[in-house]
Amino acid sequence: MNADHARHYFRETFAAEPDVIASAPGRVNVIGEHLDYNGGQVLPMAIDRRIYVAIKARPSETLSRVVSENQSVSAEFDIQAILRSGQWWDYITGICAAFPSRDARLPQIAAVVTSDLPSASGLSSSAALEVSTCVSLAALVADKRALKDLALLSWNVENQFVGVAVGVMDQFASALSVEGHALHVWCDTLDVEQVPMKEAVLIFDTAIPRSLRTSQFNQRREECDEALRLLRQRDPELENLAAAHPDEVRAAHLPATLEKRALHVTEENLRVEALVAGLKKSGSVSGETLYASHESLRTQYECSTPELDWFVDNARKIAGVRGARLTGAGWGGCAIAVGDFDALNDAKDELCTAYESSFRRKPKVWLTYAAQGVRVELNNQ
């Protein structure tokens, strides 16, 4: 999949050349799960699977049209009067609704979407679609807003227009990642740093689709908010849940469910700091830190599945694998194993065969390194 494919599909669909094409990657989170909306630290990296958005301005038309190569239903809408539909194109129309500023007005558009990034797998396809749309629109109208600002715009769209209460990590990873690096993000201050990340990552899609709209994601966020409210009764100056120490959580004697959620958040934040320090010092990922993260997600945040647990348990047995964990919000989707490229490459087929035998589902796997974030592939403006 590349920009030429997107350009060809646009020609086939609209019998015209696109004005701009932008692409944005999916991401895996190396560590720091469910911390972004709790004010903690996260360490995502972009992967080498991308969504491409090709757009042409149609100022003389009264409606815009968006077509996806991977969706059977297309959309027509007035870009000046956008309404939420509950359909896949909300990620695009939401960006179109939020994008205009005093210096940037949008014409009606024709757009196509092509992708080799699977949806509903925990790899942030929604953020990649939002960010690629946002950057392509910026190129279309020569908008000069910084990538960080466009990432924040995309994040606001997912929260306020699409209606999924996510943190900022996914959009930042898709927009700001640099090849060969993981992106260390402080989600409370929005500060970022690039951390060298040279190890190979095997992404294992369990073929259990998940959607943040229908998973227990919003419930977990509400539980974390309630835990923070109770902790602030003891410490009114507590800025966010991740800023608490695990000892504070235990001392507060929260209701059992809320204590488990808060312990995951506070301990996971410490694990991010430890893993980043290790990467800077040795260039290697701490496998035991990854395994500890997964165990916490399984028992304290309760967002794993038998399929995700199976992968982590079996990856642990492979020589050359340093660590494994679920990635993304959980409740299905993907897990990762980090380690030597050759070891992961040699093991992937056997893992797939054994998994299919155990669960009667055919997984998808691919090897990746830390990839580049969003980029403009074509600009004929």
With a cut of 60, say whether residue 214 has pLDDT above it. Answer: no
Q: How confident is the model over 98-144, as pLDDT tens digits?
A: 998 777 789 999 999 999 987 766 678 899 999 999 999 999 999 99
The residue-averaged pLDDT of 163-170 equals 84
pLDDT tens-place string over residues 262-277: 999 999 999 999 999 9
Kindly give, in sequence order, each residue whose CB lies less than 8 Å from that of residue 70, ignoring residues fewer than 6 positions away: 113, 114, 115, 119
Residue 117: predicted pLDDT: 87
**Domain positions in the chain:** 3-196, 201-368
Nearest to 358 by CA among 297, 301, 291, 313: 313
34: left (phi over 0), alpha (psi -120 to 50) or beta: left
pLDDT of residue 93: 97
Q: What is the pLDDT of residue 121?
A: 63
Mean pLDDT of 352-374: 96
Q: How far is CA 121 from CA 175, 183, 227, 292, 327, in A?
A: 19, 21, 28, 22, 9
Query: Domain 201-368 maps to which CATH number in 3.30.70.890, 3.40.50.970, 3.40.50.300, 2.40.40.20?
Result: 3.30.70.890
Percent of the chain predicted with pLDDT > 90: 87
Which two tokens mark 253? Answer: 């004697």
Query: Residue 142: what pLDDT?
Result: 94
Q: What is the mean pLDDT of residues 72-98?
A: 95
**Mean of the pLDDT values across residues 155-173?**
90
Confidence of residue 79 (pLDDT cuts 50, 70, 90): very high
Ordered DSSP codes for 154-202: HHHIIIIII-----SHHHHHHHH--TTEEEEEETTTTEEEEEE--SEEE
- For residue 109, give the amino acid letter: I
Assigned token pair, 216: 């227990």
Tokens of 314: 């079996």
Q: Which CATH number does 3-196 carry?
A: 3.30.230.10
* Euclidean distance between CA atoms 371 and 178, whole angstroms: 6
The residue among 218 and 226 whose pLDDT is bigger is 226
Per-residue pLDDT at 211 exceeds 90 = no
For the record, the structure tokens of 264 come out as 């995951």
> Residue 66 carries which side chain, given as an amino acid letter?
V
Q: Same CATH fold, 201-368 and 3-196? A: no
Phi, psi (degrees; rounded to nearest 5) at 19: -80, -40
Q: What is the mean pLDDT of the chain?
A: 94
What local confidence, expressed as pLDDT, does residue 118 receive? Answer: 75
Please provide residue 147's backbone torsions phi and psi, each rounded to the nearest 5 degrees.
-55, -40
Determine the average pLDDT of the residues in 337-363. 96
| Predicted local confidence at residue 323, as pLDDT | 97
340 vs 343: CA distance, rounded Å: 5
Catalytic residue among 19, 36, 170, 205: 170
Q: What percent of the chain has pLDDT over 70?
A: 97
* Alpha helix (H) residue ranges in the chain: 3-14, 90-98, 125-140, 147-156, 169-176, 217-234, 246-252, 256-282, 287-299, 306-315, 341-359
Residue 212 binned pLDDT confidence (cut-offs 50, 70, 90): low
Residue 210: what pLDDT? Answer: 66
| pLDDT single digits (tens) 23-68 | 999 999 999 999 989 999 999 999 999 999 999 999 999 999 999 9
Residue partners of 169: CB distance under 8 A and separation at least 6: 27, 29, 32, 35, 36, 42, 44, 185, 187
Nearest Cα to Cα of residue 95 among 49, 64, 116, 59: 64
Separation CA 255–CA 336 (nearest Å): 32
Q: What pLDDT is stored for residue 203 in this prediction?
A: 96
Q: For 171-205, write each residue's pLDDT tens digit.
A: 999 999 999 999 999 999 999 999 999 999 999 99
pLDDT score, position 105:
85
90 included as an active-site residue: no
